[in-house]
Structure 1
Amino acid sequence: MLHLTCSNQMEALVDPLARAVQAARAADPLGVVTLIVPDQSVAQYLRFRLAERLGIAAHLRFTFLTRYLKDLVEAADPGIRVVDADRLQLLLFARLRDPALTRLDGLERVQRYLDRATTEAERETRALQLALQLGRLFEEYGYSRREMLRAWR
């Protein structure tokens, strides 16, 4: 079950969270409690505060929202594989390293950018930098420009 508690002060959230963790443990003492956090520093903070309140901070799984949603989707349908930013960047890098692909119509500017390299190592670096930037943009488009992505299909 998903439970959301909001506050602009993190300390105010610790006690309701501790109560929710206690309730989850009462229902399933060996079960893992999943907590969605924005970053590792919040996870570490909560780990310490929950240990203070509960005496132990075991069987807690801290995850980010994007990872949690990815896991939910893939668990619901094993035929679906959500491509995260890291995987997308690797796929793009592999494609950008393929000279046959970058010579296709419409990719002349990409080819010119890569051709400015004077060594193979510099070309690889340019391809990697471009793949990283494109991966970030595609991920952002997934959040903010879905209609544009649909039009590319």
Structure 2
Amino acid sequence: MTVIEKLYLKNLYEIDDHLWLEKTIDLLKEKKFKELDLENLIEELESLARRDKLAIKSLLEQIIRHLLLLQYWEEERERNYRHWRSEVTSFRGQINQRMTTNFYNYLSDNIQETYKYARKYVKDKSGLDIFPVDCPYHLEQLLDEDWFPQF
């Protein structure tokens, strides 16, 4: 690949990232590693890793939100019980389908931060300030498709 072709690939990233991705995949399949636009490839891989982590963390936050509502918002429990429980089931299915050892470790390391945002959400939603400051759930419980808190 000439210098002009390398510049084309770098410029293509700014113009049409999907076409850039297709060309990059072709180069990888052809084992033409010296022709890769490494700077943008690294940026894309880092972005992909961040996006995946945010997605799995968001699913965990949704699980926590609905468990807190289910366990603590007594006035709304009878009316919303089935909805909140089915949401937990849905989010657990989604998170467990994507789970890897790295994601598990990431969630474990970030459970308190995730809980903090979930707690703030349910406080705002319910108008109640009765939710524990620290996460009352273990990660294993949050991911266990059959576990629900007692109330």
Determine which structure has greater relative contact order: mean sequence separation of CA pairs < 8 Å that are 6+ residues apart, divided by chain length: 2
The structure in which a higher percent of residues are strand is 1
TM-score by length of 1: 0.30
The structure in which a higher percent of residues are helix is 2
TM-score by length of 2: 0.31
